[in-house]
Structure 1
Amino acid sequence: MTNPVTYTKTSPTLSLYEFVALMAMMTSLVALSIDSMLPALTQIGAALNAADDHEAHLIVSIFFVGMAFGQLFFGPFSDARGRRLTILLGLCIFAAGTVVCMLAKNMETMLLGRVIQAFGVSGPRIAAMAIIRDLYVGDAMARVMSFIMMVFILVPMLAPVVGQTVLYFFSWQHIFSLFLVVALLAGIWFFSRQPETLPRARRASFSWAQFFRSTRFIFTHMSVMGYTIAMGCIFGAFLAYLSASQTIFQEFYQTGGMFPYIFATLAFSIGLASLFNGTMVVKMGMSRLIHIALYGVIVFALVFNGILLAFDGLPPLVLTIMVMFCGFFFVGILFGNLNAMAMQPLGDIAGLGAAIIGSLSSMIAVPVALFVDSFLTDNLYPIGLGFLSFFTMAFIVVRVGDRERRQHPEKIHVEKD
């Protein structure tokens, strides 16, 4: 006999497969908006008179600035005004930003459009995760999330191929046309099939007092801050690679049309890490996996820098891919686990806390990525040194967070208005 599925106050109205596909489409708008742009960065930079490759890289990096502010807004907004209005407003803002990007005549306008895009897409992403929490609990929620993660993993692998295909037949502006089509289809599908999952009686009005109290708690809690800063360092070093990946593979290595497939191969490593982590986190625990992965990324950074020294900053392509594939596996393990560890002490402010932590880690990661990429010229030394420096920094702050967690295991936020 199968175990009964436990639901919260609101019950699902869609079949499991349709619900998973719809939520995966909502959450994957973020990855699609980032990774499908990668093959077009050089063309966009040339068309908009970018000063250099570094300015074109901002098209990727600046996206996370918009998301940082979007999470802070849409997290409380979703709890106060409901999931459907959050998704509607987010998709409208995303569409407005997409049109700005499509019509841009200079880099300043393009970057403004990307910030607006990112702010808007935070709405569907946050609301989709909240809807899952509204409808499913316990093992049922874990099952839904595992299915969504399987779909979500495919998007970073396929998005650059999609972007490259659009460029082959059309111009870079039509990548933004694709975003509009996907957003429109997602909106039509959602509003025609998915009812509101947060009734008015269960909505929580936004409180500035609670917001400032929660922010103060996070900033003064060494364990939460340790894991949050570590997330920012790990993601910042990875974002430096992500922003520069098109330059690295298409310009340094002259791979041409093979770039999307190389990028997909390396993205597959992070996907494997997510699947591995989903199985092993129950057996080994988050803390142990984090420490193993931190040692893994530091060893990867040391090996990678040694190889860079041996080949004057630009190793053979196959060797670079092999080493990065191994290193990114450990990076993939860290992404989810660091966030979960940062969330553990937040108690009843989990929703607002998630928005603050996500925003703060992004605000750390973007300057890190911009700093590392500013040194990129014609070799991979800046990427390698960025990996080593910021992975080491993440290791240090995690140790500080662990010490705080052991010394004050009872420090959990339980305040309520």
Structure 2
Amino acid sequence: MAERGRSEGDQAGPESRTPRTPGAGSGTVGRQAAAAGRPGAVVQQPPAITGRPAGAERTAGAGETTAADGRTGAGPEEPAGGEPVPGGRAAVGDGGSADGLRDALGKGSARGKGSAGGKGSAGEKVVARSVPGSPARTTRAASAAQAAPPAAHRSVGLLVTLVLGGLTAVPPLSMDMYLPALPEVTDSLHAGASTVQLTLTACLAGMAFGQLVVGPMSDRWGRRRPLLAGLAVYIAATVVCALAPTVELLVAFRLVQGLAGAAGIVIARAVVRDLYDGVAMARFFSTLMLISGVAPIVAPLIGGQVLRFTDWRGVFHILTGVGVVLTAVVWRFLPETLPPRERQGGGTADALRTMRGLLADRAFTGYMLAGGFAFAALFAYVSASPFVVQEIYGASPQTYSLLFGVNSVGLVAVGQINGKFLVGRVDMDKVLAAGLAVITVASAALLLMTAGVFGEVGLAPVAAGLFVLMSAMSLCMPNTNALALMRTKHAAGSASALLGTSSFLVGAVASPLVGVAGEHTAVPMAVVQLVCSLAAVACFAGLCRPFGGRTATEGEES
């Protein structure tokens, strides 16, 4: 094995040697890393955010030795650091090796147009996204060694995947667990329904604008520090919400809670972008939807059960505990995925310039707005459904929680169909178009039913229409995120912030509109859903130009 590694490097002289990605071919990672560590060896770096062109190469110096196990030693410019994660080699820290994390995720961290979870056609070379501290790696789909990562690595990867899923679950937990308590908050704080709905709007607006702050911060200072700071503020704000004596104070600290909770959403997406690209990224977003989709199922059920034993304040006590647990597992198990060499410098002006550049890409903006309006249609249901189900149709909080959970099961199931069977087989633009068509038809049907066009209808037909609408969201949201993020190799935090801000901001505007006609009609909810669905279709068709005449993504250009 060692002779083969030497012969491959000695076949060409110094003038004619073709640069290779460390680990190219079918050899083992240890041999590849050892070869890369020789002085004078050409090492291909992962795409850098610091201005270095994609594919830029450098010569490994004598101070940069690479161990045979694939971990990078401390070099003169990039000191190794971080603490090891139990059960694997992935390290927590700015420069820690995360090969074990990437392999453990089970997707191969494949980056490239033809890769899906590290798999390609026989003999196809797939380049894996480098994680901080580890060399870029290539592998072949036929490699048996890469097909079966060690069990310890799989366990670490599963844990990190669960952590990312937990971070994306912060919004549904903060919103949906609280939904069954809205009528009780109205009575307890002597406030009107529209005023109490502002507690949802404030939290949603906070999550929208908070992402604009946290996203660029994570591009500048890494993913871990802004995330941990945001979780700490989230815990403090949730405690104040539990003690709020007036609806005004509750609204104010729901805003703070949303601002802080935004860190989990935007950084989870940025971490996925650090590790994945293309089809693999879309599949991983569907995996996250499976995990985070459990939150909308269990959150209203938990909220309904909490109300059987205590008042609405108990919901915020539960959310405080969730925040503490998330902070602990992030601190212990989530590695840094953005190394110092790939971070962006500068201040607010540079962050705004980066966002302006992203918005100048018409297709990126189209996917962002399409996802935002689709999310607003979903949130119109989230904010109006407690009053529609409990006040108009007379269902109990427990019945409402059950119906909400059934709808969330549909969302998770279709998300898995999207990730397992559609992504990689059907063009993502076509899947997105189908999802937008379904939510538009479902919204139109709901409007006709609630407006009395079909006469007096009961809860069952309305619940069926809402089930179809919720389920189809899994064809829209993962694919809009993936298609938008595929168009940028840099500033994943800023791109993720724009995606999240558009969704939560449009949702915050739509939320109070569903209650303009009072608590005894569902027509405003259906109208908002239909208008948002049509707006999503218009943005997708007009800006993205999905079926012709669109410029290539950055990934395709390279």
TM-score in terms of structure 2 length: 0.67
1:94 aligns with 2:246: no
Which of 253, 260, 263 pairs up with 1:123?
263
Per-residue displacement from partner, 1:49-71 (whole Å, max 9, x unpaired)? Answer: 21x21222222222221011211
After TM superposition, list the pairs within 5 Å mapping 1:376-395 onto structure 2. 376-395=518-537
Shift of 1:48: 1.8
Structure 1 201/61 Cα, relative in aligned 2: closer, same or farther at 3 Å?
same
- How far does the alpha carbon of each residue in 1:16-75 deviate from its partner, in whole angstroms, 9 at most, with x for none? 23223333233322221111001111111222221x212222222222210112111111
Among candidates 126, 130, 134, match of residue 8 of structure 1: 130
Asked if residue 356 in structure 1 is aligned to residue 495 in structure 2, the reply is: no
Deviations 1:195-250 (CA, angstroms, capped at 9, x unpaired) = 54444444332443432333333444433333333223222222121111111111
Report the CA distance between 1:409 and its aligned residue. 1.0
Aligned to 2:189: 48
Inter-CA distance 309–364: structure 2 relative to 1 (3 Å threshold): closer
C-alpha distance 314-85 of structure 1, shift in aligned 2 (>3 A) = farther
Matched, 1:289 2:411: no
Change in Cα spacing, 1:332 to 1:313, as seen in structure 2 (3 Å) is farther
Tell whether 2:368 aligns with 1:228: yes
Cα distance in 1, alignment partners of residues 333 and 546 from structure 2: 46
Cα distance in 2, alignment partners of residues 244 and 340 from structure 1? 29
Q: How many residues align?
A: 413
The answer to whether structure 1 residue 17 and structure 2 residue 158 are counterparts is: yes
Residue among 398, 408, 425 paired with 1:267: 408
Q: Aligned partners of 2:267, 2:418: CA distance in 1, in Å? A: 25
Q: Find 1:176's aligned residue among 285, 310, 316.
A: 316
Could you say what the CA RMSD is over the residues aligned between the two structures, in angstroms?
A: 3.1
CA distance in 2, matches of 1:247, 1:259: 10
Q: 1:58 to 1:200 in 2, by over 3 A?
A: same
Q: Please, which moves more after superposition, 405-414 or 177-186?
A: 405-414
Which AA in structure 1 matches 2:484?
A: A
Q: Residue 82 of structure 1: which of 205, 217, 222 is its match?
A: 222
Q: Which has the higher helix share?
A: 1
Partners of 1:136 and 1:289 lie apart in 2 by 20
Q: Which runs of 5+ in 2 are unaligned?
A: 1-25, 27-102, 109-127, 135-152
- The whole-number CA distance in structure 2 between the counterparts of 1:342 and 1:141 is 11
Deviations along 1:239-279, whole A, 9 cap, x unmatched?
12111111111111111121100111112222122112112
Deviation at 1:312, TM superposition (A): 7.4
Contact 2:367 2:540 in 1 (8 A): yes
Q: In the superposition, relative to structure 1, how do residues 400 and 4 fare at CA in structure 2: closer, same or farther (>3 Å)? A: closer
What is the CA–CA distance in structure 2 between the aligned matches of 1:277 and 1:309, rounded to whole Å?
33
State whether structure 2 residue 385 is matched by structure 1 residue 245.
Answer: yes
Secondary structure of the 1:409 match is coil
What SS is found at the alignment partner of 2:350? helix
Task: Output the CA distance in 2 between the equivalents of 1:192 and 1:328.
Answer: 35
- Mapping of 1:26-41 within 5 angstroms? 26-41=167-182
Q: Cα 1:124–1:303, aligned 2, differ >3 Å: closer, same or farther? A: closer
Q: Is the 8 A contact 2:392 2:519 kept in 1?
A: no
Is this contact kept in 1: 2:219–2:491, CA < 8 A?
no
Q: Is the 8 Å Cα contact of residues 233 and 365 (structure 1) preserved in structure 2?
A: yes
Q: Distance in 2 between matches of 1:232 and 1:135?
A: 24
Secondary structure in 2 aligned to 1:297? Answer: helix
Q: Distance in 1 between matches of 2:300 and 2:280?
A: 32
The alignment status of 1:320 with 2:462, answered yes or no, reads yes
Q: Comparing both chains, which one has the higher relative contact order based on Cα–Cα distances under 8 Å and sequence gaps of 6 or more?
A: 1
Deviation (angstroms), 1:160: 0.5
Distance change in 2, residues 1:376/1:405 (3 Å): farther
Please name the residue that 2:330 is paired with: 190
Report which stretch shifted further, 129-138 or 170-179: 129-138
| Structure 1 unmatched runs, 5+ | none
Rounded Cα–Cα distance in structure 2 between residues aligned with 1:239 and 1:171: 24
Question: What code does the residue aligned with 2:513 have?
Answer: F
Separation of aligned partners in 1, 2:278 and 2:533? 33
Give the 3 Å change call, closer, same or farther, for CA 313–78 of structure 1 in structure 2.
farther
Q: Distance in 2 between matches of 1:265 and 1:393?
A: 27
After superposition, the C-alpha distances for 1:270-311 in whole angstroms (9 at most, x for unaligned) are: 212211211213211111112222222222223223333446
Q: Does 1:280 align with 2:422?
A: yes
Structure 1 stretch 242-251 or stretch 308-317: which is displaced more?
A: 308-317
Task: Give the number of the structure whose alpha-carbon radius of gyration is greater.
Answer: 2
Report the Cα distance in structure 2 between the residues aligned to 1:353 and 1:153, rounded to whole angstroms.
23
Q: Answer whether contact 2:287 2:416 (CA < 8 A) is retained.
A: no
Give the one of 539, 544, 556 matched to 1:397: 539
